[in-house]
Structure 1
Amino acid sequence: MSILSELTHGVGRLLFPVRCPVCGGEMPPGSRVVCTRCRYAVPLTGFCHATYNPLWERLSALVPVEQASAFLYFIAGSGWRELIHRFKYDGAWRLARDMGVWYGHSLAESGLYDAVDTIVPVPLHWRKRLRRGYNQAECLAEGIGRAMALPVDRCSVRRVRNNPAQALHRREERWDNVEGIFAVRHPERLAGRHLLLVDDVLTTGATLLSCAEAILRAVPDCRLSVAVLAVSQREFGLDG
């Protein structure tokens, strides 16, 4: 970077300081994704370092998953909840990708995901994707793929029904809302591979499990692992 570029960059930061998406404080120079204080205070689950973790126990009771991880806890009222809402609803897709890179490095360091061949994001229906402009699960998957040097398959699994948002339904209705909404268009691309199914937030798990079931029905010889960015602290009974 030239002296002029450094000066321009410094003036830009002075006039328009970059804010931490979690606490809103000014980002120190050299900080990535969140500020240093928030990075040390991130509510990590530690799931990526243990096969037998609460997420794996819940999912493996319903579908055959080899590994399952969530990076952090989704805590009501916290700045981390606001971070997720920013990339989910406010167009901050780069933030989702950067969080994916951070998460991907943790998955790679654990060694439990070394056998994964391909990353598959949980797809959005094309109408919702067109309205939003992106799929946040795909952005996360791209970041994870970058950190783990793995390809992302965006085409083989499709959302064939534009179901209403899960948040609009009571818990007992969510399973019916996601029944039959996914289809595998190119099963030959996934055959015999170890897939990492990626999504942003898991609460009841109905959407992710519906996607997993569709994949396993269409490609019975594939292996499946799961990585979600966040799980509800309340859902896992960890409110303290």
Structure 2
Amino acid sequence: MSILNELMADVAALFVPPRCPVCGEPLLMGERAVCSFCRATAPLTGFWREADNPVASKFWGLVPVYRASGFLYYLHGSGWRQLIHGFKYRGAWRTARAMGEWYGRCLAESGLYDDVDVVVPLPLHPLKRCRRGYNQSEYIAEGIAAQLGVEVDRRSVRRKRNTASQALKPRRERARNVEDAFAVRHPDRLEGRHVLLVDDVMTTGSTLAACASAILQAAPGCRVSVAALAVSRRELGVKA
């Protein structure tokens, strides 16, 4: 996100009171990104407190992920889905960072992620990043890393194939769509470290599994954990 865009957003905030992206109500003084009511009623998973949880089980038999969790459920038709679409497609990157900070505080409080050494955002292909102007997963990763007190590595892992959107693919084709889509440019930066791989939304887990596999192949001495901001209740088989 350019400095000019940041400045324009700051100026706009002076004239247009910010609203909660979940419910649409004006944010009160002291409220940041999401209003207090929506925070209190958020569809949080609680998976970051459990070593064995439905997100972790998605990777069993696919890739040896050390820890895995999702922060909230991605619910169709809900305001939380609109919040995610806001930073995914409409430039609301500040919301992505604030949500990352919230998630990061929970990860830190759980104690299960205390030994994370570096946070790696799931990379976008350069063409897609150019069209969007930013990678929303980087802002989520920044928020998480700030709370864990570690660095963000945006350069070691790259997306070498501009794959079609997973949302447009049938479930059975998603793993094939992202096969060999990722490469590691600097395995020495990850070797021997505990890497936390961060993405915005996880459905089947195919994309995260493909990226984690690429990291482990390039740096076999590292451990990879996964943190997805939002996860699909249906894909995880979790009842409402």
TM-score, reference length from structure 2: 0.92
Whole-Å Cα distance in 1 between the matches of residues 196 and 148 of structure 2? 11
> Residues 202 and 230 of structure 2 are in contact (CA less than 8 Å); yes or no, is this contact kept in structure 1?
yes
Q: Deviations over 1:166-199 (max 9, x none)?
A: 1121111111110111000111111100000100
- The Cα shift of 1:237 comes to 2.3
Aligned to 1:230: 230
Whole-Å Cα distance in 1 between the matches of residues 140 and 120 of structure 2? 10
> Residues 201 and 230 of structure 2 are in contact (CA less than 8 Å); yes or no, is this contact kept in structure 1?
yes
Code of the residue aligned with 1:84 in structure 2: it is I
Whole-Å Cα distance in 2 between the matches of residues 143 and 29 of structure 1? 21
Q: Deviations over 1:20-42 (max 9, x none)?
A: 01000111111122111101000
- The Cα shift of 1:13 comes to 8.0
Aligned residues: 229
Aligned to 2:135: 135
Code of the residue aligned with 1:144 in structure 2: it is I
- The Cα shift of 1:14 comes to 9.5
The answer on 1:124 being equivalent to 2:113 is no
Q: Deviations over 1:188-239 (max 9, x none)?
A: 1111000001001000111111001100111111011110001011212234
Pair 1:190–1:25, CA change in 2 (3 A): same
Whole-Å Cα distance in 2 between the matches of residues 13 and 170 of structure 1? 40
Aligned to 1:56: 56
**What are the equivalent positions in structure 2 for 1:146-185 lying under 5 Å apart?**
146-185=146-185
Code of the residue aligned with 1:167 in structure 2: it is A
The answer on 1:37 being equivalent to 2:30 is no
What is the SS of the residue equivalent to 1:227? Answer: strand
Code of the residue aligned with 1:126 in structure 2: it is P
Pair 1:127–1:13, CA change in 2 (3 A): closer
What is the SS of the residue equivalent to 1:102? Answer: helix
Code of the residue aligned with 2:132 in structure 1: it is R
Aligned to 2:101: 101
- The Cα shift of 1:17 comes to 2.3
> Residues 55 and 69 of structure 2 are in contact (CA less than 8 Å); yes or no, is this contact kept in structure 1?
yes
Percent identical across equivalent pairs? 61
Whole-Å Cα distance in 2 between the matches of residues 62 and 75 of structure 1? 26
TM-score, reference length from structure 1: 0.92
Code of the residue aligned with 2:167 in structure 1: it is A
Whole-Å Cα distance in 1 between the matches of residues 13 and 100 of structure 2? 25
Whole-Å Cα distance in 2 between the matches of residues 14 and 103 of structure 1? 28
Aligned to 2:8: none
> Residues 58 and 205 of structure 2 are in contact (CA less than 8 Å); yes or no, is this contact kept in structure 1?
no
> Residues 58 and 236 of structure 2 are in contact (CA less than 8 Å); yes or no, is this contact kept in structure 1?
no
Aligned to 1:28: 28
Which structure has the bigger radius of gyration?
1
Unaligned runs of 5+ in 1: 1-11
> Residues 157 and 186 of structure 2 are in contact (CA less than 8 Å); yes or no, is this contact kept in structure 1?
yes
Aligned to 1:214: 214
Q: Calculate the aligned-residue CA RMSD, in Å.
A: 1.4
Code of the residue aligned with 1:147 in structure 2: it is Q
What is the SS of the residue equivalent to 1:25? Answer: coil
Whole-Å Cα distance in 2 between the matches of residues 231 and 59 of structure 1? 14
Pair 1:176–1:136, CA change in 2 (3 A): same
What is the SS of the residue equivalent to 2:198? Answer: strand
- The Cα shift of 1:16 comes to 2.7
